[in-house]
Amino acid sequence: MEKQFIIDDFKIGEAWRLFKIMGEFVEGIERLHDIGPAVTIFGSARIKEDDPIYKKTEEIAALFVKSNFAVITGGGGGVMEAGNKGALRAGGTSVGMNIVLPFEQKPNQYSNVKLEFKYFFIRKVMFVKYATAYIIMPGGLGTLDELFEAVTLIQTHRIKPFPVILVGSDYWSGLLEWIKATLLEHHKISHNDLDILQLMDDPEEIVRAVKKVVII
């Protein structure tokens, strides 16, 4: 009987978790439904304010705002902070979608639309649902996770294609070469899959590339 009580308690806990999950979806959709065209910026949470990547992220975010885009980030430090700061100081909509973690991430102060998520997968849905482009600054495992999930969804036609732009030739060219030399060479992807990714360095070129395919 004691074992049955434990199982029943677990089932009740799982059922209530579904309500929490639905609540996060509802809040995210309600807060972002009218956001308009937006770009989602990803990158390392570990870079500091004096890093050139930080400065470039600020510039890119500000340029997008001046072109009537909102800017979405993960709401934390590093690249996320830079993206929110650039958008906010340019007078635009700066969305920070923070994730509750036991370490590393704390929400930055530069978002004027703030959301907090407990579940990574819900946050990921919001990133991709409200993005008209992904801007991928240099980053680590989390950045790679977001990058390849978006590429996979586009490749498998689960979402409408949008620009996925890698920013920083010196950082990302090695990854692209590996993809070509290994994945493509061993027939694990097609040539068309390579077209999903774009590699750029110039902030104004990045904005122009997105504006070519996004109608404001």
Q: Output the pLDDT for position 16.
A: 82
Q: Output the pLDDT for position 105.
A: 65
Q: Output the pLDDT for position 196.
A: 97
CA-angle at 160, arms to 157 and 166, nearest 5°: 95
Q: Output the pLDDT for position 104.
A: 58
- Is the pLDDT reported for residue 156 higher than 90? yes
Can you list the domains of the chain with their CATH numbers? 2-213 (3.40.50.450)
pLDDT digit string, tens, across residues 37-86: 999 999 999 999 999 999 999 999 999 999 999 999 999 999 999 999 99
pLDDT digit string, tens, across residues 75-133: 999 999 999 999 999 999 999 999 887 765 688 999 999 999 999 999 999 999 999 99
- pTM of the complete model: 0.90
* Percent of the chain residues topping a pLDDT of 90: 85
d(CA 29, CA 12): 26
User: Which has the closest alpha carbon to 162: 147, 141, 144?
Assistant: 147
In sequence order, the 6+-apart residues with CB closer than 8 A to the CB of 8 are none
94 sits in which H/E element = strand 94-99
Q: Output the pLDDT for position 110.
A: 97
- Is the pLDDT reported for residue 31 higher than 70? yes
Q: 3-state class of 28 per DSSP?
A: helix
Q: Output the pLDDT for position 4.
A: 46
pLDDT digit string, tens, across residues 189-216: 999 999 999 999 999 999 999 999 987 7
Of the pLDDT bands very low, low, confident and very high (cuts 50, 70, 90), residue 19 is confident
